Structure 1
Amino acid sequence: MPIARRQFLRSGSAAALVALVGEARARPAGDGRLGFESVPATLRDAVTVPPGYEARLLYPWGAPTGIAGAMPAFAPDASNSAAEQALQAGMHHDGMHFFALDGRADRGLLVMNHEYTDEQLLHPEGARPMTADKARKSLHAMGVSVIEVELGPDGWRQVLPSRFARRIHGHTPMRIAGPARGSPLLRTAADPAGERVYGTFANCAMGVTPWGTYLSCEENFQVYFGASKEALPTAGAAQQRYGLGAGSWVDYWRVDERFDLAKNPNESNRFGWVVEIDPFDPASTPVKRTALGRKHQESATCTLTKDGRLAVYMGDDSNFEYIYKFVSRDKVRPGSDAAARAANRDLLDRGTLHVARYDDDGRGRWLELRHGLGGVDADSGFAGQAEVLIHARRAADIVGATRMDRPEWIAIDPASGEVYVTLTHNVSRGRPGMPAADAANPRAENIFGGILRWREAGGDAAATSFAWDHFALAGDPDLPGAGARYPSAEADAFGCPDGLHFDTGGLLWIQTDMSGRAIGQGPMAALGNNQMLCADPASGRIKRFLVGPSGCEVTGCVLTPDRRSLFVNIQHPGETREGTSGTPNSAWPDGTLPGSARPRSATVVVRRRDGGIVGT
């Protein structure tokens, strides 16, 4: 998700692909897939779904999580305390997953991220002045929710209370694990050993391990740290690569020394990681897995290598950043029960981190990020592997990885094994002093983004080479010079793809994140509000399935195992402020007109009225 839009708070060769891996897809087309009626682009302040479908509200910001004996109701005037917010749904829902209980499709745990806060909405009197209580409430409004849900005669509902219910947030105790554990760069006065940390925040996309744990990704952590101009030391190269010292969205540092870069310069190094959470054990301690590298973490998509090890694909969501892959040293112990979670407890702590290079001929390579290789050594400022992981961006710079147009969510086609990544946009591409367009990022001042895909050599996630092409270059195809290119003439147009998810039937769900200030304006005029589309990679058809309310981002989706229920997150409705009063441009889901209610991010459930499989 871009930083600039929050300032008010804040061509490759398809032939090469086929030549390397042969026939890429065995899935037949024309089997009734995408049988729904496409939803028109619209600017309505509502959730719009196809005829024959319904969308119901499930878990909005401020709803009780379901912790026994502590279920405070949402206060419409935002007067809930920090302690109450720690027991309620956080703000700005993002990536999520459904963990079935006892293998059932009608009962499970829904685990989701809460990415950031709108301080104007979170507090009755708004963002200013910042106080210790406001900072505490704000940190409690981010992180992760674990809720229990079940399907009954009247649809899906929360199970209240639930023994699984849990909120993980900016004050939750966590362990640091992996090669960077104990590094001098992770030590603070509060944690001289560099082994424990309080909290996770800026939680965006996610992943799921084969053994049934949830991987939450810390994205734009840098904007929660700051200092006065007089006290802030000159930011070094390492800090600058992560955007530290450029100012903060929320001035925690004024009331909490932990976020003061001048007083605690190492605290920021303890964020930007993948956090592993066991959703089935509310007493378990979340773990930050340093072997996966530190970045503006977006996505942690897991798959098995041919020999049974784990590969984790990750994006770094900023302009001109990279795509990464971690491959574990050890094989995955099979299963997804408590015994399997225990057997794989440390699997993510040992392995090899790689970064991608996309060559102009439609091929690419995974470049190893290891101390002593490719110029990543003491001479370039890396004392050891811990520093390589803490400063993964700098290591990727040195080995010559390809600078991408904001790599975000990553999804793997269950039929072909191809890996898809959304490149949301990069309007700086090709501007003076900025990297020029290249084969993998072919458009200068790329306002629309696109979806790139690759297939690993031999179909093995452990391979060090791959072939790639563009699945779609997004944008309005009727707009001269837009450069839009879709895989089929039967493709609805979209802009700024972000969320990405393959269901078990092989349908690709695409979610968009156009800036609130751009929606309905200029080159985005024909695209409507942010939306979710469904694609059939075999035929190239893409159909618009859902359009969100005004100002929102549509992000995070997952289907139940029977594919008859689709959970979707609606983030920051009303993000754009209207008029001199700064009124949000949405009142969804509680109001009808802007200003009639505080807009609330929320999870909705979409089902076919006839109970059939969603998307067909």
Structure 2
Amino acid sequence: MTDTARRLLPMLGHTKGKRSAVTCALKCDNACADAVCNTSANSYFRDIASREFSRRSALGTGAAGALTLLVASQTGAGSAVAAPGGKGSNALPFTAIAPVDALVDDMTVPQGYGWKPVIRWGDPIFRTSPAFDANKQTAAAQALQFGYNCDYTDVLEIEGSKGRRAVLFANHEYTNENIMVPPTTPAAEVRGIGKAAHGLSVVELERKNRNKPWSYVQGAPLNRRYLTTTAYEVTGPAAGSDLLRTKDDPAGRSILGTLGNCAGGTTPWGTILSGEENFNGYFVAAGTSDGDRRYGITSKPTARGWEIDEPRFDTRNAGYENEKHRFGYIVEVDPFDPASTPRKHSALGRFKHEGANVTVAADGRVVAYMGDDERFDYLYKFVSTKKVQPGSSPAARRANMTLLSEGSLYVARFQGNSVAEIDGTGTLPTDGAFDGVGEWLPLLVDNKSVVAGMTAAEVCVFTRIAADRMGATKMDRCEDVEPNPRTGKVYVACTNNTNRGVGSSAVADEANPRTQNRDGHVVELTEAGGNATGTRFTWNLLLVCGDPARNPSTYFAGYPTDKVSPISCPDNVAFDSAGNLWISTDGQPGTVGFADGLFKVGLEGAERGRVQQFLAVPRDAETCGPIIHDQDGTVFVAVQHPGEDGDWAEQASLFPDYVPLGGAPRRGEAALPRPSVVQVYRASEGRRDEDHNGRGRKRQGTPRR
């Protein structure tokens, strides 16, 4: 490894187990090697014990009626929500796979299932797109091809296609140019390729029938790439404010590009929400202001060096001081209108958004739940001012696409029921649960600030500072946050926080019960009275993660720990039609030594807390964007950063084509890893000749340094 590469990898030698330091550098700008951003003295559990409110008042006195709503898009896309109480589908029976060593370069699926890529990095998506050639890649070619490191995905069927046509959305979180292009590529071209591989992609899919796997359609009418040159409209209180104005956009209403996209969500009206997460690593700033420090923006050169080519990425340049304020939002795009202008919704706040997931409350307003993926940052929700318009008319859809522009923004404060018993070991309290009550603290009410000394625009741009002032609870990296469409309960994946209880950092509390929390946990939250728009909730920990065979401080909702699959670092969550929770992981190689994967978790009755591993991804990869189409017998995942620890001369993975190094690849294949959206499905006579049947070539060994 070169000296330059080592300077970009301060986590080298500090990551645990088989976790790649390259991922830390390129994905989150070595966040764990830097000082904690949240140094506020706002309250956490041990400070607010005297303010505990009653469990009875949190639960409320009546049950709000459930509202099941399907608002179809103009083209008829949408996802029906199963009625509560139904049995759901059992189209995905499987025997849990054994944990897979993190150095195995294979996609592992259950017996009786096969897998096949839907689309890979570099696949051409327009009629004019050149075929992928890793040895001759250019920025111009990449702009016409599927981007790198896909994260959030969704597949929405097109009305009237009888299950044979759909659109796939994927965002692209970050790039690793070291393994993407030959080292002889000119530096400026490398930067251009990386830039063009960011953003978002929409592609049409087709299949012969429901028993066949999906394939993407090159040149289809709905195909689109969203690049760093794509204009995004700003909505909400920050639109037009002095905080967003630059010399290129003096009105402060139009932003070029989206960066660091992570998880997302699909709205009831058929649009896609994508969260801008680790945007701080793309900007150079003075690094001395409260805002810079709170968002981790520094004066050091960025890993990708885009500031060399575009002055807006060095916000010390005159006229670009506010460019850093123009990222960190929830983005909304319409996958069924390739000519539409995407939006950045400032009313949902600016922070490291993992994603946003929307539900419709009983009164017709929409509620979006969001997590800030930073150590000791917060859990949020947004409640719209206006109500959803039912139906699929163009007028209703236009109205619904304004719902996230005006509303109330809240941040969560938790209180435990067993405060005195929490000592950081993860020992279960004597009442038999990690649980308690909580409240949603308002930051904005109908787009007006309720934070003393801050305008509405300031709350939207400096949301973390506003939440600090209101006394929110510091959490262990809230990542994906999703309401269960059957029960309305909300599930929060807290990935980990090795700084919990270290030095002057916040100590363990009942919602984050372990000091140096390496394995993470999952919070189950119930809104008071079933009212998603209210300000009170109860909560419990569904899972306190880890490998129970090696870590006694694990908890699986009371399910026997010797009968579960070990799970660590929960990241994205999804649900099947029966209401089971599915969790994808990011970081298991560094905690339990196993490959990241996808896990099914029971939530009710005797199955509650039962964790079963469904799949494992290849070496160095992370499991992202799970979609559970169990009634179709299909699961989708995005396989992100396979082979991260390699370099051009010695790749660490050959996923998904598994072309031997030095071998003769078929058209469209290459002897290097390609992040991909993958479909996993039950094997059948009609599929065996088209899938990989889980038989990738395995390469084991020590990660190359």
Q: TM-score, normalised by structure 2?
A: 0.78
In structure 1, the partner of 2:625 is 556
- 2:124 corresponds to which residue? 64
Q: For residue 487 of structure 1, report the CA deviation from its aligned partner.
A: 4.4
Equivalences for residues 427-576 of structure 1 within 5 A = 427-489=498-560, 490-514=563-587, 518=590, 524-525=592-593, 528-538=594-604, 539-540=607-608, 541-560=610-629, 562-576=631-645
Change (3 A) 1:479 1:386: same
Structure 1 gap ranges (5+): 227-231
User: Match for residue 173 of structure 1?
Assistant: 231
CA distance in 2: counterparts of 1:38 and 1:368, whole angstroms: 43
2:658 to 547, 570, 591: 591
Amino acid corresponding to residue 326 of structure 1 in structure 2: F
Does the 8 A contact of 1:451 with 1:472 survive in 2? yes
Distance 1:583 1:452, change over 3 A: farther
Mapped to 1, the partners of 2:91 and 2:223 lie a distance apart of 36
Greater alpha carbon shift after TM alignment, 135-144 vs 479-488:
479-488
Residue in structure 2 matched with residue 604 of structure 1 by the alignment: 678
Which residue of 195, 204, 208 corresponds with 1:148? 204
594-603 vs 431-440, which deviates more?
594-603
Distance 1:482 1:249, change over 3 A: farther
Q: Is the 8 Å Cα contact of residues 90 and 141 (structure 1) preserved in structure 2?
A: yes
CA contact (8 A) 1:210 1:336 kept: no
What is the Cα-based RMSD across aligned positions, in Å? Answer: 3.0
Q: 2:293 aligns with which of 223, 237, 240?
A: 240
For residues 56 and 18 of structure 1, the distance between their equivalents in structure 2, rounded to whole angstroms, comes to 51
**SS in structure 2 at match of 1:269:** helix
- Which residue identity lines up with residue 174 of structure 1 in the other structure? Y
Matched residue type, 1:376:
V
**Contact 2:618/2:642 (<8 A) preserved:** yes
Tell me the secondary structure at the aligned position of residue 471 of structure 1.
Answer: strand
Higher strand share: 1
Distance in 2 (CA, whole Å) between partners of 1:594 and 1:321 is 44
More moved, 348-357 vs 332-341: 332-341
**In 2: Cα distance, 1:23 partner to 1:511 partner:** 32
- Does the CA contact (< 8 Å) of 1:587 and 1:595 recur in 2? no
The answer as to 2:93 corresponding to 1:35 is yes
- In structure 2, relative to structure 1, the CA distance for the partners of 1:475 and 1:377 (3 Å cut) is same
1:357 and 2:413 are equivalent in the alignment:
yes
Note if contact 1:64-1:89 (Cα within 8 Å) is conserved in structure 2.
Answer: yes
Question: Which of 436, 452, 459 matches 1:377?
Answer: 452
Task: In structure 2, give the amino acid aligned to 1:64.
Answer: P
Give the Cα separation in 2 of the matches to 1:16 and 1:547: 40
Structure 2 residue matching 1:186: 3-state secondary structure? coil
Change over 3 Å in CA distance of 1:374–1:388 after alignment to 2:
closer
Which of 302, 319, 329 does residue 385 from structure 2 map onto?
A: 329
1:229 counterpart residue number: none
Name the structure 2 match of 1:20: 59
Contact 1:584–1:595 under 8 Å retained in 2:
no
Q: Distance in 2 between matches of 1:284 and 1:30?
A: 36
Q: How does 1:69-88 map to 2 (within 5 A)?
A: 69-77=127-135, 79-88=136-145
Q: Match of 2:156, as an amino acid?
A: F
Paired with 2:56 and 2:512, the residues of 1 have a C-alpha distance of 17
Residue 68 of structure 2 corresponds to none
Amino acid at match of 2:322: N
Provide the rounded CA distance (Å) in 2 between the counterparts of 1:271 and 1:319.
Answer: 19
What is the distance in 2 between the residues matched to 1:18 and 1:208? 33
Preserved contact between residue 374 and residue 399 of structure 1 (Cα < 8 Å): no
- Distance in 2 (CA, whole Å) between partners of 1:60 and 1:31 is 30
Q: Secondary structure at the match of 1:212?
A: coil
- CA shift for structure 1 position 197: 1.0
CA separation of 1:410 and 1:611: change in aligned 2, threshold 3 A: farther
2:637 maps to a residue whose letter is V
Query: Taking structure 1 as reference, are residues 394 and 99 closer, same or farther at Cα in structure 2, changes over 3 Å only?
Result: same
Pick one of 222, 227, 234 that aligns with 1:164. Answer: 222
Aligned partner of 1:290: which letter? S
1:28–1:602 Cα change, 3 Å: same
Query: Which residue pairs with 1:95 in the alignment?
Result: 152
SS in structure 2 at match of 1:509: strand
**Closer, same or farther: CA 480–461 of 1 in aligned 2, 3 Å:** closer
> Matches of 2:582 and 2:661 in 1, distance apart?
30
* Shift in Å, 1:408: 0.5
Question: Once structures 1 and 2 are overlaid, which stretch shifts more, 416-425 or 154-163?
Answer: 154-163
1:44-443 equivalences in 2 (<5 Å): 44-65=104-125, 67=126, 69-77=127-135, 79-102=136-159, 104-125=162-183, 130-131=187-188, 133-152=189-208, 155-226=213-284, 233-245=286-298, 247=300, 248-263=302-317, 264-336=320-392, 338-361=394-417, 362-370=436-444, 376-378=451-453, 382=454, 384-443=455-514
SS in 1 for 2:207: strand
Per-residue Cα deviation, 1:408-455 (whole angstroms, up to 9, x for no partner): 011222222110010000001110011111110000100000111101
Residue 90 of structure 2 contacts residue 631 of structure 2 at CA under 8 Å; is this kept in 1? no
Q: CA-to-partner distance for each residue in 1:59-83, whole Å, 9 max, x for gaps?
A: 0100112x2x312211132x22112
**C-alpha displacement at 1:121, in angstroms?**
2.3
2:261 partner letter: N
Equivalenced residues, count: 587
Tell me, in whole angstroms, the C-alpha distance in 2 between the residues paired with 1:197 and 1:347: 20
**SS of equivalent residue, structure 1 residue 324:** strand
The 2-side partners of 1:37 and 1:485 are apart by 19
Quote the Cα distance in structure 2 between the aligned partners of 1:18 and 1:601: 48
**TM-score when normalising by structure 1:** 0.89
Q: Write out per-residue CA displacement over residues 35-77 of structure 1, whole angstroms, 9 at most, x where no aligned residue.
A: 3111111133111111111111110100112x2x312211132
How far off is 1:607 after superposition? 1.1
Alignment correspondent of 2:39: none
Note if contact 1:301-1:312 (Cα within 8 Å) is conserved in structure 2. Answer: yes
Distance 1:57-1:243 versus aligned 2 partners, 3 A rule: same
Letter in 2 for 1:241: R
Cα offsets for 1:119-153 (capped at 9, x unmatched): 212332279x742x333322211111101111226
Q: Secondary structure at the match of 2:469?
A: helix
**Identity over aligned residues, as a percent?**
39
Local SS of the residue matching 1:363: strand
Counterparts in 2 of 1:191 and 1:19: CA distance versus 1, 3 Å? closer
Q: CA offsets per residue over residues 345-386 of structure 1, 9 Å max, x none?
A: 3221110000011111300000000389998222xxx2x100
Secondary structure in 1 aligned to 2:492? Answer: strand
Change (3 A) 1:29 1:281: closer
* Inter-CA distance 351–592: structure 2 relative to 1 (3 Å threshold): same
State the AA in 1 paired with 2:674.
R
Q: What secondary structure sits across from 2:416 in the alignment? A: coil
Paired residues of 2:375 and 2:477 also in contact (CA < 8 A): yes
Q: Tell me the secondary structure at the aligned position of residue 369 of structure 1.
A: strand
Change (3 A) 1:486 1:506: same
Are the counterparts in 2 of residues 477 and 485 from structure 1 also a CA contact under 8 Å? no
2:78 aligns with: none
Is the Cα–Cα contact under 8 Å of residues 17 and 455 in structure 1 kept in the other structure?
no
After TM superposition, give the deviation of residue 610 of structure 1 in Å.
4.4
Distance 2:657 2:255 in 1: 37
What amino acid is aligned across from residue 592 of structure 2 in structure 1? M
Change in Cα spacing, 1:123 to 1:272, as seen in structure 2 (3 Å) is: same
